[in-house]
Structure 1
């Protein structure tokens, strides 16, 4: 379930960012597919980052 929700929120946020950036750029139009591809890539990067970060507690700060 965590995979679904991570992709869901990443998809929504990337699509929103894509829409806002295309609206602010003169002559650009919103396109759905590049945002979808980027959201898949960002989701994969999020899962890779969480797998690489150690989960052990820190002994000394």
Structure 2
């Protein structure tokens, strides 16, 4: 379920970012470009979460 929600929110936020950035530059909104960027950002987040260790760090005393 966490993968679904991560993809869902990443997809929406990347579409919002693409729309706002395109409006600031003056270019047209492209749904396909935003979808590809949203999918790529989701994959990047999944890989980043898998690479970061989640066990506690031992102290060096």
TM-score in terms of structure 1 length: 0.90
Please provide the CA RMSD for this pair: 1.2
Q: Which runs of 5+ in 1 are unaligned?
A: none
CA distance in 1, matches of 2:46, 2:24: 31
Q: Which runs of 5+ in 2 are unaligned?
A: none
Per-residue deviation, residues 13-52 of structure 1 (Å, max 9, x unmatched): 00000000111113x1011110100111110111101111
TM-score in terms of structure 2 length: 0.90
Aligned residues: 60
